[in-house]
Amino acid sequence: MKKLVSLAVLSALVTGCMNGSSSDYAGYGYDGMEEEQLTTNTDTYLMAAAPKYYVGNAYRIEDVQYIPVEDLTYNQTGVAGIIPTELDGSKTSDGEVFDSNQLVATSKTLPLPSIVRVTNLDNGNAVVVRVNNRGPFVNTRIMDLSKAAAQQIGLMNTAKVQVQVLAPESLTVKRATLGEPEKTVTETETQTASVENTPAQPVTSQSGEYSVQIAAVYSEDNANALAKEMATYGNAVVVREADMYKVRFNNLDAQNARRIIDALRSDKGMAPGLLKNGRWVNADSI
């Protein structure tokens, strides 16, 4: 059985007090179990097995209750911040060693580790990160990102973000952590998935106030290739802003924008951004 975090330890974390371990800092914490270290190594680390798979039970901090749960449909918006680099070398809730140069994040309720896509709603930039620690225990934020992840989406302090669990990747890293074999997909499941993931019909509307952005990259060639790949869903265009190339579906009405967002989430595992008259809005606001 997994060892639970005591309310006393959690309270100490909130108040910034140390409980005798150098890996406890204000607003973050692990469950106190000593685990082997996980060696970090660039992109390989993102999908590597963790020392343990950790969900935990419901807990309360400063009269706020948090209920960890396995939710592969998790798709929430809220404020994100940055994990202090002073935490480098500390133990995370799933037994890893925190490294601010890796693409990692914290969550109050998601299973650890989980793989999620985080989109900065101020600029549409997105990054895929590994959630491996509990926190931040600040009710105004739903997630904190490592320095490396924050830099990739242009997060300087705090910003409103969209956080979407990538279900296949999260299941893969869970099975790797638990030492389970990859699930064999049956013919029936394959047929069902084929029906459910039928691409949306191309959108022809050219007079709407919405734009759906699916990527922001530095390579024009990559942007053009992605736009071409997205032809199934509509007329994707490449828009250059500063030194980045952004792939978007423009001039959409609300119905067609919703259809593209849902299709890209289902078919491609993407977390598209949404603009209304050129301003970023919540992708689930329509």
Confidence tier at 192 by pLDDT (50, 70, 90): very low
Average pLDDT, the chain: 77
Indicate the CATH number for domain 33-178.
2.40.40.10
Averaged pLDDT for residues 108-126: 93
Residues 122, 213: contact at Cβ < 8 Å? no
Confidence tier at 243 by pLDDT (50, 70, 90): low
Check whether 27 has a pLDDT greater than 90. Answer: no
pLDDT of residue 279: 82
Residues 93, 132: contact at Cβ < 8 Å? yes
Check whether 5 has a pLDDT greater than 80. Answer: no
Residues 136, 81: contact at Cβ < 8 Å? yes
Averaged pLDDT for residues 149-177: 93
Q: What is the DSSP string of 146-204?
A: -HHHHHHTT-SS-EEEEEEE-HHHHHHHHHHHHTPPPPPPPHHHHHHHHHHTPPPPPP-
Check whether 38 has a pLDDT greater than 90. Answer: no
pLDDT of residue 126: 92
pLDDT of residue 142: 93
Q: Which residue has the higher pLDDT, 127 or 27?
A: 127
Check whether 63 has a pLDDT greater than 70. Answer: yes
Averaged pLDDT for residues 164-189: 76
* Residue 243 phi, psi (nearest 5): -105, 20
Averaged pLDDT for residues 116-123: 93
Averaged pLDDT for residues 240-265: 87
Check whether 183 has a pLDDT greater than 60. Answer: no
CATH architecture of 194-281: 2-Layer Sandwich (3.30)
When mean pLDDT is compared across 16-25, 35-44, 47-56, the lowest value belongs to: 16-25
Confidence tier at 92 by pLDDT (50, 70, 90): very high
Confidence tier at 182 by pLDDT (50, 70, 90): low
Neighbours of 253 (CB within 10 A): 16
Domain boundaries, the chain: 33-178, 194-281
Confidence tier at 52 by pLDDT (50, 70, 90): very high
pLDDT of residue 237: 92
Residues 205, 256: contact at Cβ < 8 Å? yes
Check whether 18 has a pLDDT greater than 50. Answer: no
- DSSP element (H, E) containing 243: none
Percent with pLDDT over 70 in the chain: 74
